[in-house]
Amino acid sequence: MLWYELKNLEKSGSSQISADIFVPPDSPWFCGHFPGEPILPGIAQLGMVYDAISQSGDRNLEISNISRVRFKQMIRPNDQLNITVQPRNDRGKSYSFRIMVAGKVACSGVMALENPAGKSGE
């Protein structure tokens, strides 16, 4: 069971991935981060991006690099999120991503994936 709800996962003809996400207020990520002012930690946000990529077809890949990450808005309990992920065609398995809250960018960056060491194919 995931600690969030992934809904409406779609992959367009241009390979853009989009999904709606809801993180319930009782998610363990909100416990202690921060008491009285819960926010979703950045590592959890990056995990959701990876899950969206993986569940859309790029399974069995590992994160090899994360860059240009910007956290611009806090994500709080009950926020409705939208993730968009766009392959960077010039960079192999590299993706630009955005997490939106109420039409505003909460997080953006670039995530690169690769086959695990010693394995080939997908």
CA 49 – CA 41 distance, rounded (Å):
13
Give the pLDDT confidence of 71-109 residue by residue, as tens digits. Answer: 999 999 999 999 999 999 766 789 999 999 999 999 999
Residue in the block written with tokens 């996400």: 21
Active site amino acids: 33
Asked whether 93 and 113 are in contact (CB, 8 A), the reply is yes
Give the pLDDT confidence of 48-58 residue by residue, as tens digits. Answer: 999 999 998 86
Q: Six-digit token pair at 91?
A: 């960079």
Supply the pTM of this predicted model: 0.88
Mean of all residue pLDDT scores within the chain: 89
Reported as a pLDDT band with limits 50, 70 and 90, residue 36 is confident
Query: H/E element holding 45?
Result: helix 42-55
User: Percentage of residues in the chain with pLDDT exceeding 90?
Assistant: 65
Give the pLDDT confidence of 7-27 residue by residue, as tens digits. Answer: 999 998 878 999 999 999 988
pLDDT at 31: 83
Residue 117 DSSP symbol = T
CA 46 – CA 29 distance, rounded (Å):
13
Backbone angles phi, psi at 51, to 5 degrees: -60, -40
Domain spans, the chain: 5-114
With CA atoms as reference, report the closest residue to 82 among 5, 3, 2.
5
Architecture of the domain spanning 5-114: Roll (3.10)
Asked whether 77 and 96 are in contact (CB, 8 A), the reply is no
